[in-house]
Amino acid sequence: MQMGEKIPIGSDHAGYELKQDLIEYLKELGYEPEDVGTYGTASVDYPDFAEAVAGVVSRGERKRGVLICGTGIGMSMSANKFPEVRAALAVNEQMAEISRRHNDANILTLGGRFHEKLLARKILKRWLETDFEGGRHARRVEKIAKLNLNK
């Protein structure tokens, strides 16, 4: 963990309540959360907030980020459109750990309608504390970066 590391975090309306809780939890853990919205429960479009977080990660301005929508699926799909982004939906602590250890996931996605706060906190903590293992996994991650199906 890098004390004071800035972590951009965004959600749509369905993830708003969980986002607010995780912002406080990130502060407790010693991180500096950067709330990119949404700022309430009025209906919004999740790709807008995926773009805000994935954009800064893609450009290398931030090392990693967190996105929350109703299921975590839409945010994951949207964020993974950005170069160098490896967004992973984790439904438990083990998936969070493997997403980091084996896939070097740099964005964690969660489902505001499916993750209770305590579980989401545990998933986030495990994800933040796990390092990329490298080795044989590095070759695979490099191959992901080279994928371009629009050629």
Residues with catalytic function = 69, 102
Q: What is the rounded CA–CA span in Å between residue 109 and residue 115?
A: 11
| Kind of pairing between the strands at 6-11 and 65-69 | parallel
* Residue 102 phi, psi (nearest 5): -100, -30
